[in-house]
Amino acid sequence: MNNLSFLQRGVGSGSPTGQKTLVDLRPWQTAQALAALAVSTEEMEHAREAERLADHEVDQAFAAALRQADTTSQPLNAEAMTLKQKVAELQQTVKSDQSLLQQVTAASHGVSSTGANSDDVAIAKAQLGLDSDQLNDAEQDLARASGDQRIKIQQELAAHEATMKKYDSQANQPGEMAVVSSKRYGTLAHRLEAWLAQRSRYQLLQLARRQADSDSVALMAEHHVLELQANAGASITSSSTGTGEQSVQSTSANSVLARIKEKADQHQLLSIYDDRYQTEQQLASVYANWSTQVLVQHRIVLHLILQSLAMIAFTLILVTLCDLLIRHFLERPRLDRRRTQTLQKILELSVQLVGVIVILLIVFGTPQQMPTILGLATAGITVVMQDFILAFFGWFVLMGKNGIRIGDIVEINGVDGEVSEIGLFRTSVMETGNWTDKGHPTGRRVTFINKFAISGQYFNFSTAGQWMWDEITVSVPTSTETYPTIERIHKAVLEATEVDAKQAEEEWKRNAKQHGLSQYSAAPAVNLRPSGSGVDVLVRYVTRASDRVEMRNRLYQCVLDALQPVSETPVSISSVAEANVGSGR
């Protein structure tokens, strides 16, 4: 658009650089600048026609300017009279130099090039060049002093012809049909860019059309002024020639010829103005047709833009429907809640990612430099978003076979609690005092970035059967019934924990065979420790983490039943729990 800045500003006659000229070059400058914006075959045809008419109009403007400069005579001052005399003398001198050069050249044909005549030819040429330069300088001085613009107009004409030769030497690029040219913009971004460019081009064409109409009106006004002057001159001539024989005799033949020549020049100038007026009218018509063609392309591109927007809307609708279908099929009671939530997140993320990629392809298209783009993007993302990348891949680790699920009892970075949410980048835990206080949260919600799954460590106490070792201590006073009482306690513990011990032992054995681990026993153990008041009986047994409190209460009842035959001496009972969840000890 920089080439059309003079058109948008509405500058008068001048060059694109802003330098004022005697002849209005705007028609050619406007057509040349607008031709560079043509994109289709139809537009290029209009552009070439506009350039042809604009060039013809400028040529006629130069012809009119030269004729007006020839017919315009201004009184000469003393300086101009002196320069005119000097120019006449230099013209005679140049003619003499040319005659001398011809004589010397003819005389040197029969003499050797090393003779004196060769030197005479060189001297004659040098003298002719020097006098010619002096003549040109004197003519320019005379034109400046007398106000004659013919020399400057000739210089502008020569510059314009040189520009035209350079422009004609450049081959025109072949174009495409309007429909094909518009459909080349396959992405929404390119279509919007083309739509804006067409809108700007249409506005410039309308401005050029209005400028051509304005120039035609101005030319017609000048034509009327010149026609009035010519008619006034003709009436004067008629009146002077109609006074009779006496007036004819008093008018010299040279004066009559001068008037006739002046009248002929005026009619030729009027003919030139008529031609320029018609050319401006044709140029305005070309710009109007060109604008219509741009509007056709504008509608085509607008239709393509609407197609792209419809595709984006259709993609968003599909993504929404897919999300609804995923939720509908996964919200079934018979499916595992933890696996359902994990699968739902993965499917929703995949569908949304595909939707975003499709929309980006519609808007921007396929990248041309895919390896370079991927390399730079990967390097930037790796450096700037290192923690988020680790958190993202940590989410896949947590969703794996050995990860964690919602509701698991875990320990992360020294914080114990129950998993309440597993996000794409963060995991939330409802904190408890420690893993033995299941069901008694502190009320604090702790959130960890999923980076810990890769660069840190975590403990999951909710794997496999969720088995744990628990321990209670019973103080039995020293008496003759001490050992029978201990046996009854041992027997009661064996009976109460038999089922859990058998299930835990079978599960551990299966895992031991699968992973090559050592053999473990889940049988309860009763250990004795002497104390000041008697014997402390330590009972260790296996129970599920979720049934720990219930099992402990049942064992307390069994111990109290076993202590009934003993004397009324108070019995002290305490407990401690130890867990190794899953397939461990």
- Write out the DSSP string of 243-294: T-HHHHHHS-HHHHHHHHHHHHHHHHHHHHHHHHHHHHHHHHHHHHHHHHHH
Which helix (H) or strand (E) segment holds residue 524: the answer is none
The closest alpha carbon to 520, from 531, 511, 533, 529, belongs to: 511
Residue ranges of the chain with per-residue pLDDT less than 50: 1-3, 9-12, 16, 112-115, 171, 236, 239-250, 435, 437, 566-569, 579-585
What integer pLDDT is reported at residue 180 of this predicted model? 54
Contacts of residues 523-529 at CB distance under 8 Å and 24 or more positions apart, as own/partner, are 523/494, 524/490, 524/493, 524/494, 524/497, 526/486, 526/489, 526/490, 526/493, 528/486
Helix (H, G, I), strand (E, B) or coil at 539: strand
Model confidence, pTM: 0.50
What integer pLDDT is reported at residue 254 of this predicted model? 63
The closest alpha carbon to 142, from 91, 82, 93, belongs to: 82
What domains are defined for the chain? 386-460 (2.30.30.60), 467-578 (3.30.70)
List strand residue ranges (DSSP E) for 404-545, in order.
409-412, 415-422, 426-432, 441-449, 458-460, 467-477, 525-530, 534-544
Q: Do 68 and 269 form a contact (C-beta atoms < 8 A)?
A: yes
User: Look-up: residue for tokens 């072949």?
Assistant: 174
What integer pLDDT is reported at residue 581 of this predicted model? 43
- For the stretch 92-131, pLDDT in tens is 888 888 888 888 887 766 554 444 567 777 888 888 888 8
Cα separation, 29 vs 329, in Å, equals 69
Cα separation, 574 vs 529, in Å, equals 14
What integer pLDDT is reported at residue 412 of this predicted model? 87
Helix (H, G, I), strand (E, B) or coil at 1: coil
Cα separation, 440 vs 462, in Å, equals 16
The closest alpha carbon to 580, from 460, 456, 492, belongs to: 460
List strand residue ranges (DSSP E) for 68-180, in order.
none
Q: What is the Rg, in whole angstroms, of the alpha carbon atoms belonging to the chain?
A: 54
3-state SS string for 402-413:
CCCCCCCEEEEC
User: Look-up: residue for tokens 């390119």?
Assistant: 190
Q: Do 551 and 501 form a contact (C-beta atoms < 8 A)?
A: no
Structure tokens given for 524: 């309860």
